[in-house]
């Protein structure tokens, strides 16, 4: 089968890219190839469901630009398509004095990023927003919201198909070969031909990128599992909306938080532990080939040597419910181990370069035959329509 553009990966980024392309040029013949039997099975379907406001990201970075633009587009999309969402607002809480300067710089950054209404609040106000939360200082971010990203992704898929796009589920891309300017994409269910490949393969985006280039790629995806607990129904009253700790500037994605979910319930988490399999949602899941690749990657060895203490702390919290509860108690002292039941897990695709840098910003790299989304961690779900817009512009320049 021949298509002008083939997108690999039916997660929220691939689907948003397909939708944007057809909205801009409905005559294009486009397919999305997905290895699972449904869309949004991986990062998109296993995340915290937060509509991020753009508070954390360095002004001018791709994350800051795409998060804020994507935020507005996402909300408009949800309103138009009747997808339930709620602008709940969130509090970010310093629980120790030494976190206060970081909290203040976060507030400054949010204001630089154009967030309206984000402000420091008194501890009395904190009690009004979150009666059971304790801290020494806090800020309130009114723009933050919640949504079910699986529903959003399914709607992108539906609209993509209505515009003439085709989705091939249960097709795993195994190899990409070049025949002149045409790429032959070999899948578990036969070959496809295309003028342009767009790689949105998430946890396998480095592997797919490598299929279409001779030189070896200078980044590797390191999978970090994020495990959640849920608050028991009778204790959900402890959390009104969203409660976040002050992030560690070295690891902005660390730090368990409380999130009221759009589909109901309150989640606590996620932590971040090295997954022994890229799609390993349980501690017991191991893929020796993938694990040894991670361990052999020079960049990972450097990260491990530098941050082993942080890594062990996260691992300890993964095995010990008491330790996990203690981390949560910093924000809500009343929480007891017995209030928590095991929840789900998601695996983050975090790109790591050879020198030990965990890529902070989104990364989109082009070569002659393909466009590769190589790093799309949080807030890529919030930013999906904006990332889709950026990638579709790059693609349309080629036609
Ligand atoms: C625990 C966790 C919490 C998060 N919380 C938030 C949040 O609150 N808000 C937010 O904005 N973001 C959040 N994120 C980030 C967000 O979920 C991701 O950035 C986003 O879902 C990435 O989408 P994607 O399409 O790139 O990847 P994915 O959703 O992983 O999709 C990639 C797809 O590619 C497919 N694929 C891979 N290899 C192949 C192949 N060889 N052939 C065919 N198909 C293939 C996979 O099956 C998959 O469906 C969170 C992420 C995690 C893990």
The closest-lying atom of ligand 1 relative to the alpha carbon of residue 349 is 53
Ligand 1 centroid to residue 280 C-alpha, Å: 13
Chain center to CA of 120: 27
Distance between CA atoms of residues 43 and 275, nearest Å: 13
Ligand 1 centroid to residue 330 C-alpha, Å: 30
The closest-lying atom of ligand 1 relative to the alpha carbon of residue 348 is 53
Higher pLDDT residue, 270 or 6? 6
Is the pLDDT confidence value at 316 over 80?
no
Residue 255's pLDDT is 77
Residue partners of 318: CB distance under 8 A and separation at least 6:
225, 227, 271, 273, 283, 324
Q: 3-state SS of 64-132?
A: HHHHHHHHHHHHHHHHHHCCCEECCCEEEEECCHHHHHHHHHHHHHHHHCCCCCCEEECHHHHHHHCCC
- Residues lining ligand 1, judged by CB closer than 6 Å? 8-14, 33-36, 41-44, 46-50, 52, 172-173, 200-204, 208, 226, 270, 346-348, 376-382
Is the pLDDT confidence value at 265 over 80?
yes
Distance between CA atoms of residues 389 and 383, nearest Å: 10
Is the pLDDT confidence value at 314 over 90?
no
Which pLDDT tens digit goes with each residue over 65-111?
999 999 999 999 999 999 999 999 999 999 999 999 999 999 999 99
User: Which H or E element spans position 135?
Assistant: none
The answer to whether the beta carbons of residues 68 and 114 sit under 8 Å apart is yes
Ligand 1 centroid to residue 129 C-alpha, Å: 31
Residue 252's pLDDT is 62
Distance between CA atoms of residues 230 and 228, nearest Å: 7
- Provide the sign of the torsion angle of the four alpha carbons 46, 41, 142, 233, taken in this order: negative
Ligand 1 centroid to residue 221 C-alpha, Å: 12
Ligand 1 centroid to residue 136 C-alpha, Å: 35
Distance between CA atoms of residues 24 and 27, nearest Å: 9
Strand pairing category for 190-199 and 2-8? parallel
Which pLDDT tens digit goes with each residue over 2-33?
999 999 999 999 999 999 999 999 999 999 99
Distance between CA atoms of residues 9 and 380, nearest Å: 14
Is the pLDDT confidence value at 250 over 80?
no
Is the pLDDT confidence value at 312 over 80?
no
Nearest protein CA to atom 51 of ligand 1, as residue = 47
Q: For residue 180, what are its two tokens? A: 């002149």
Q: Domains of the chain, with CATH numbers? A: 1-85+147-218+361-399 (3.50.50.60), 90-142 (no CATH), 219-353 (3.30.9.10)
Nearest protein CA to atom 27 of ligand 1, as residue = 202
Residue 253's pLDDT is 66
Nearest 5°: the CA angle 83, 237, 272 is: 70
- Provide the sign of the torsion angle of the four alpha carbons 305, 306, 312, 318, taken in this order: negative
Nearest protein CA to atom 4 of ligand 1, as residue = 47
Residue with tokens 């390993």: 280
Instruction: Give bridge partners of residue 268 from the DSSP assignment.
Output: 229, 258
Q: Is 260 left (phi over 0), alpha (psi -120 to 50) or beta?
A: beta
Which pLDDT tens digit goes with each residue over 141-154?
999 999 999 999 99
Q: What integer is the mean pLDDT of 303-332?
A: 82
Which pLDDT tens digit goes with each residue over 328-343?
999 999 999 999 999 9
CA dist list (Å): 303 to 78, 137, 204, 252, 316: 39, 31, 20, 15, 18
Q: For residue 41, what are its two tokens? A: 């099975």
Q: Exposed e or buried b for every residue in 351-390, given b needs 16+ CB within 10 A?
A: bbbeebebbbbbbbbeeebbbbbbbbbbbbbbbbbbbbbb
Ligand 1 centroid to residue 80 C-alpha, Å: 24
The pick from 37, 202, 225, 229 for probing ligand 1's pocket by mutation, whose C-beta has the most ligand atoms within 8 angstroms, reads: 202
Return the beta strands (E) in 151-238 as ranges: 166-168, 173-179, 182-187, 190-199, 219-231
> Mean of the per-residue pLDDT values for the chain?
94
The pick from 43, 74, 190 for probing ligand 1's pocket by mutation, whose C-beta has the most ligand atoms within 8 angstroms, reads: 43
């Amino acid at each position: 089968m021949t298509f002008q553009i083939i997108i690999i990966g039916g997660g929220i980024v691939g689907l948003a890219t397909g939708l944007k392309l057809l909205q801009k040029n409905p005559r294009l013949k486009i397919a999305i190839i997905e290895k699972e039997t449904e869309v949004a099975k991986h990062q998109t379907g296993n995340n915290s469901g937060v509509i991020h406001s753009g508070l954390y990201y360095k002004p001018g970075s791709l994350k800051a630009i795409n998060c804020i633009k994507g935020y507005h587009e996402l909300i408009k999309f949800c309103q138009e398509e009747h997808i339930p969402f709620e602008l709940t607002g969130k509090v970010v809480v310093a629980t120790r004095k030494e976190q206060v300067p970081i909290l203040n710089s976060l507030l400054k950054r949010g204001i630089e990023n154009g967030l309206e209404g984000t402000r420091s609040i008194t501890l009395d106000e904190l009690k009004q927003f979150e009666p059971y939360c304790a801290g020494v200082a806090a800020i309130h971010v009114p723009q933050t919201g919640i949504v079910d990203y699986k529903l959003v992704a399914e709607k992108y898929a539906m609209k993509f198909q209505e515009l003439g796009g085709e989705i091939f589920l249960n097709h795993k891309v195994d190899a990409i070969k070049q025949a002149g300017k045409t790429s032959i994409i070999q899948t578990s269910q036969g070959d496809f031909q295309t003028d342009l490949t767009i790689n949105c393969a998430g946890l396998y985006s480095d592997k797919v990128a490598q299929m279409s280039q001779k030189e070896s790629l200078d980044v590797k995806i390191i999978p970090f599992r994020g495990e959640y607990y849920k608050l028991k129904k009778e204790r959900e009253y402890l959390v009104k909306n969203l409660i976040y700790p002050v992030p560690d500037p070295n690891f902005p994605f660390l730090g368990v938080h409380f999130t009221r979910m759009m589909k109901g319930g309150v989640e606590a988490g996620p932590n971040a532990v090295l997954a022994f399999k890229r799609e390993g949602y349980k501690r017991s899941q191991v893929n020796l080939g993938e694990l040894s690749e991670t361990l052999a990657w020079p960049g990972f060895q450097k990260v491990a040597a530098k941050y082993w203490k942080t890594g062990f702390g996260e691992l300890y919290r993964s095995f010990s419910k008491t330790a996990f509860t203690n981390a949560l108690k910093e924000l809500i002292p009343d929480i007891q181990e017995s209030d928590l039941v095991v929840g789900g897990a998601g695996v983050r695709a975090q790109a790591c370069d050879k020198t030990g840098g965990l890529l902070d910003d989104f990364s989109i790299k082009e070569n002659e035959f393909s466009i590769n989304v190589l790093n799309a961690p949080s807030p890529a779900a919030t930013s999906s329509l904006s990332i889709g817009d950026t990638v579709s512009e790059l693609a349309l320049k080629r036609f």
